[in-house]
């Protein structure tokens, strides 16, 4: 930054500059470097070395000062959070509400009685927590699903569940089961902004006001402004896989500095100090929604993971129930190229021990994706959900590889090999080449080989004896060609033909997608020929204002069948009971105090219109992030105005938010003022009319050249008006505002008599 001409004190081995010259560097100077000369504070450049260096030319009296290490001089620095989400602009909330969701179907088939089925979900919630109960109806009767009280803690991202809870574990060595009891788990969804995986951090020093462009994999991610001094860019939310990040700095002098780094985004690796956990204790339910749904023995399940570094996460899992104990450690490591996940476990089932282990390597980049996994179990390895008596895969491997040759051509290969303890092995190899022709078409050519064996399932042999006998292996090859064509904005046409074991099958389908809003119709029609039989399938769904209706028809060699269904919900608020379309995740009640029939939009998608009371339930909000609710139609209604046309709501999961708008009718009240002074009548031009009236109303209007005045939305009643104009004393009178539905109300000529 050019400082122009300054008065400096030039010593034999030092230069003193006025402190004000360096103030914009935003750094703190040591007191020992400051000298007062003639009432002016000077700074010794020599005392600031080595953080500050300078070059001085006596020939032209020029001085160049360079701050090489502002951090050493206590510069405050700039820290920039590059998180792209920032999805909560206000704390999540839930108003007191309840709901009853239903999805009822009726199946019809020739020579068979009709079957009534359905799924029902009932709940109640407020800002403290929620209760939820799911149930199912089928041909065997009514079945209870999951009943639970749930309490979320947004601050520490944890969820407490009292009742039925199913933890979903990515560890294939332990059980995924429902436990009725007490559960405490980490819930990162409560703070969608929170970045739990490691991210790169960039540090440096800006010598002048600087603009930083951040590029991720060649695409501009964000531009930030940096002040002079140290800076740190953090929380750069990278996608999974290999990433190249470039930082391009443009300083105030026009200089451009560029540097970059490679960083692998590992999905299962936690950032340093971040933990993930899930603890459950209660009674196991091995068959929820089923016919034989009973509470089993007391069980305890626990898992814990901790990011020890930004590249290494370790933890373990443990289970215990009646006669069964199993568990073991797990680690996830972020490598320079890829991610490695390892796990091991041992079990003891009434004195019979078993072992299991698994390993996975994965790598993803812009062109290449690859994965290799192996899972091993001994014949006697057991978990709560996998008793020794059940068949299991004792050895399973999986390999996949994908390569994108160009934006138009890519190839995918995968191989799965599974060996079971009691049944025969299976081996599947698939390959596919996908290419686009540059238009709306996409072609796929595939080839698959399935190799398995015929087996005879005998009675389960005692532990240690030979497994069931199996027959010779056989190969089945399947080749296919498919084309997909986008038709318009919402249509999708697909045709494919395949040959398997000499049988050729051709299928053609057309799908029209529909937005998740009322008045939308979506459908799919599929016809299949060959393979020894032909079939036809058709399905359609229409979204009405208060429910979704669907129908389905199937015609195949086995006969014809049809299905009709209706889904929706009843939402309960203190304002009343409302019919609505199916609730999804979170919902909200929009209250527009004003005229009915106004359209409401959620994030730009129409949700329907308000009823005659001004209410509408928005059924498909996303929990814990900003949901943008808009009021439409006001642009065509100039006689109405709203306190806002758009508001933000952040609801809790399976709970309701409240969004209130105030829409009031706008009326224009115009008139003309005259002042009577004895026999003289004249307009109080360029004065001010003050009104005070019902409810403490206080309004004012400028007075025009001919005495014109103007007000908006006056309530009917009598107002006290006071006119001030020129140097004359104020003049007061009563102004009566009549009741009127007109947009413009002419109050006529109002006369104020000076007394």
CA–CA dist 113, 363 (Å, integer): 53
Tell me whether residue 487 is in a domain: no
Same domain assignment for residues 36 and 179: no
What is the domain count for the chain?
5
CA–CA dist 734, 747 (Å, integer): 12
Phi and psi at 47, nearest 5°, equal -70, -15
Pick from 640, 703, 642: which is nearest to 667 by CA?
Answer: 640
Domain with 261 in it: what CATH number? 2.60.40.3110
634 neighbors 645 (Cβ within 8 angstroms): yes
Same domain assignment for residues 710 and 748: yes
pLDDT of residue 473: 59
Tell me whether residue 397 is in a domain: no
276 neighbors 304 (Cβ within 8 angstroms): yes
Which residues have CB under 8 Å from 162's CB, separation 6+?
Answer: 148, 149, 150, 151, 181, 182
Helices (H) and strands (E) in the chain, counts: 0, 54
CA–CA dist 352, 333 (Å, integer): 33
Same domain assignment for residues 564 and 689: no
Q: Can you tell me whether residue 407 is helix, strand or coil?
A: coil
Same domain assignment for residues 261 and 271: no
Tell me whether residue 712 is in a domain: yes
Residue-wise pLDDT tens digits, 366-383: 899 999 999 999 999 999
For residue 25 the two structure tokens come to: 């560097």
Residue-wise pLDDT tens digits, 48-105: 888 788 899 988 999 988 876 655 555 556 778 787 555 677 889 999 999 999 999 9
- Count Cβ atoms below 10 Å from residue 535 Cβ, excluding itself: 16
Domain boundary among 217, 241, 265: 265
599 neighbors 632 (Cβ within 8 angstroms): yes
Tell me whether residue 446 is in a domain: no
Domain limits at 26? 9-76
Domain boundary among 634, 666, 698: 666
pLDDT of residue 193: 83
576 vs 557, 572, 644, CA distance in Å? 50, 6, 24
Same domain assignment for residues 379 and 314: yes
Same domain assignment for residues 102 and 206: no
Tell me whether residue 469 is in a domain: no
Same domain assignment for residues 152 and 299: yes
Distance of CA 138 to the CA centre of its chain: 34
pLDDT of residue 658: 93
Tell me whether residue 420 is in a domain: no
460 exposed, middle or buried (CB, 10 Å; 0-12, 13-18, 19+)?
middle
Q: Which residues of the chain have pLDDT under 50?
A: 454-471
pTM, entire model: 0.77
Tell me whether residue 719 is in a domain: yes
264 exposed, middle or buried (CB, 10 Å; 0-12, 13-18, 19+)?
buried
Same domain assignment for residues 636 and 615: yes
Domain boundary among 249, 265, 281: 265
Which residues have CB under 8 Å from 255's CB, separation 6+?
Answer: none
Same domain assignment for residues 657 and 608: yes
Tell me whether residue 597 is in a domain: yes
pLDDT of residue 349: 94
Same domain assignment for residues 514 and 555: yes
Q: For residue 50, is the peptide bond before it cis, meaning its omega torsion is within 30 degrees of 0? A: yes
Same domain assignment for residues 539 and 651: yes
Domain with 709 in it: what CATH number? 2.60.40.10
684 neighbors 706 (Cβ within 8 angstroms): no
Which residues have CB under 8 Å from 603's CB, separation 6+?
Answer: 627, 628
Same domain assignment for residues 161 and 189: yes
């Amino acid at each position: 930054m050019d400082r122009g001409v300054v008065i400096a004190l030039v010593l034999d081995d030092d230069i003193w500059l006025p402190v004000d010259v360096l103030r914009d560097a935003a750094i703190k100077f040591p007191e020992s470097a400051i000298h007062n000369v003639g009432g002016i504070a000077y700074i010794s450049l020599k005392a600031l070395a080595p953080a500050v260096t300078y070059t001085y030319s006596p020939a032209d009296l020029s001085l160049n000062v360079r701050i090489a290490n502002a951090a050493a001089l206590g510069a405050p620095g700039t820290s920039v959070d590059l998180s792209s989400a920032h999805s909560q602009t206000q704390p999540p909330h839930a108003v007191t509400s309840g709901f009853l969701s239903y999805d009822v179907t009726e199946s019809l088939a020739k020579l068979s009685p009709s079957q009534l089925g359905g799924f029902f979900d009932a709940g109640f919630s407020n800002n403290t927590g929620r209760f939820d109960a799911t149930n199912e109806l089928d041909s065997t009767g009514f079945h209870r699903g999951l009943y639970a009280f749930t309490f979320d803690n947004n601050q520490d991202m944890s969820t407490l569940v009292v009742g039925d809870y199913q933890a979903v574990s990515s560890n294939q060595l332990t059980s995924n089961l429902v436990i009725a009891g007490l559960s405490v788990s980490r819930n990162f969804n409560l703070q969608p902004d929170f970045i739990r995986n490691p991210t790169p951090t960039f540090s440096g020093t800006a010598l002048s006001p600087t603009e930083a462009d951040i590029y991720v994999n060649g695409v501009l991610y964000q531009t930030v402004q940096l002040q002079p001094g140290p800076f740190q860019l953090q929380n750069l939310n990278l996608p999974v896989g290999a990433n190249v990040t470039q930082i391009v700095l443009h300083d105030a002098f026009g200089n451009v500095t560029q540097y970059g780094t490679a960083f692998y985004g590992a999905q299962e690796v936690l950032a340093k100090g971040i933990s993930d956990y899930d603890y459950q204790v209660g009674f196991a339910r091995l068959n929820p929604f089923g016919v034989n749904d009973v509470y089993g023995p007391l069980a305890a399940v626990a898992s814990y993971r901790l990011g020890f570094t930004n590249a290494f996460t370790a933890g373990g899992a443990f289970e215990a129930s009646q006669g069964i104990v199993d568990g073991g450690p797990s680690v996830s490591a972020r490598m320079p190229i890829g991610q490695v996940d390892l796990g091991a476990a041992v079990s003891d089932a009434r004195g019979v021990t078993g072992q299991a282990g698994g390993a996975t390597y994965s790598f993803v980049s812009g062109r290449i994706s690859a994965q290799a996994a192996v899972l091993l179990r001994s014949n006697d390895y057991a978990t709560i959900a996998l008793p020794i008596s059940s068949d299991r895969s004792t050895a399973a491997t999986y390999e996949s590889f994908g390569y994108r040759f160009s934006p138009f051509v890519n190839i995918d290969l995968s191989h799965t090999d599974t060996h079971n303890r009691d049944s025969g092995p299976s081996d599947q190899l698939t390959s596919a080449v996908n290419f686009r022709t540059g238009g709306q078409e996409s072609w796929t050519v595939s080839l698959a080989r399935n190799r398995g064996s015929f087996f005879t399932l005998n009675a389960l042999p005692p532990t240690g004896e030979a497994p069931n006998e199996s027959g010779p292996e056989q190969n089945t090859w399947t080749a296919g060609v498919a084309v997909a064509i986008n038709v318009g904005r919402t249509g999708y046409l697909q045709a494919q033909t395949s040959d398997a074991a000499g049988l050729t099958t051709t299928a053609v389908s057309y799908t029209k997608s529909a937005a998740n809003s009322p008045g939308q119709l979506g459908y799919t029609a599929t016809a299949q020929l060959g393979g020894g039989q032909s079939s036809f399938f058709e399905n359609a769904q229409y979204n009405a204002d208060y429910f979704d209706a669907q129908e389905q028809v199937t015609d195949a060699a086995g006969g014809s069948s049809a299905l009709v269904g209706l889904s929706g919900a009843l939402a309960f608020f203190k304002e009343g009971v409302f019919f609505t379309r199916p609730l999804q995740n979170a919902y909200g009640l929009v209250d527009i105090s004003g005229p009915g029939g106004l359209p409401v939009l959620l994030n730009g998608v129409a949700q329907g219109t308000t009823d005659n009371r001004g209410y509408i339930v928005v059924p498909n909000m996303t929990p814990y992030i900003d949901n943008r609710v808009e009021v439409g139609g006001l642009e065509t209604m100039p006689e109405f105005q709203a306190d806002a046309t758009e508001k933000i709501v952040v609801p809790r999961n399976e709970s309701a938010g409240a969004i209130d708008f105030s829409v009031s009718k706008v009326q224009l009240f115009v008139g003309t003022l005259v002042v009577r002074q004895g026999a003289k009548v004249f307009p109080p031009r360029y004065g001010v009319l003050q009104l005070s009236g019902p409810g403490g109303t206080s309004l004012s209007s400028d007075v025009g050249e001919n005495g014109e005045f103007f007000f908006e939305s006056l309530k009917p009643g009598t107002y006290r008006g006071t006119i001030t104009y020129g140097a004359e004393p104020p003049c007061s009178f009563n102004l009566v505002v009549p009741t009127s539905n007109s947009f413009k109300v002419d109050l006529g000529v109002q006369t104020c008599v000076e007394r």
